[in-house]
Amino acid sequence: MTDEIFMREALKLAKNAEGRTAPNPLVGAVIVKDGRIISAGWHRQAGTPHAEVHALKMADELARGATLYVTLEPCSHYGRTPPCVDKIIFAGIERVVAATVDPNPKVAGRGIKILRDAGIKVDVGILEDEAKKLNEVFFKWVTKNLPFVTMKFAMTLDGKIATVTGESQWISCEESRKFVHHLRDINAGIMVGVNTVLMDDPRLTTRIDGGKNPVRIVVDSLARTPIDAKVICDDQAETIIAVTTSAPAGKLSALRNSGAEIIIAGDGPKVDLEILMRELAAREITSVLLEGGGTLNFAMLEAGFVDKVYTFIAPKILGGKNAPTAVAGAGFQNLANAVQFKNILVEKIGTDILIIGNA
List residues with catalytic annotation.
52
Exposure string (b/e) for 172-188, b if CB count within 10 Å is 16 or more? bbeebbebbeebbbbbb
DSSP code per residue over 36-71: EEEEEEE--STTS--HHHHHHHHHGGGGTT-EEEES
Measured distance CA(286)–CA(24) in Å, rounded: 9
Check if the beta carbon of residue 228 is closer than 8 Å to that of residue 248: no
CA 11 to chain centre: 17
Which CA distances in Å does 57 have to 40, 41, 53, 303?
9, 9, 6, 46
* 3-class state of residue 310 by DSSP: strand
CA atoms within 13 A on the CB side of 4: 5
Distance from C-alpha of 19 to C-alpha of 112, rounded to nearest angstrom: 27
CB neighbour burial string for 18-44, b if at least 16 within 10 angstroms, e if fewer: ebbbbbbbbbbbbbbbeeebbbbbbbb
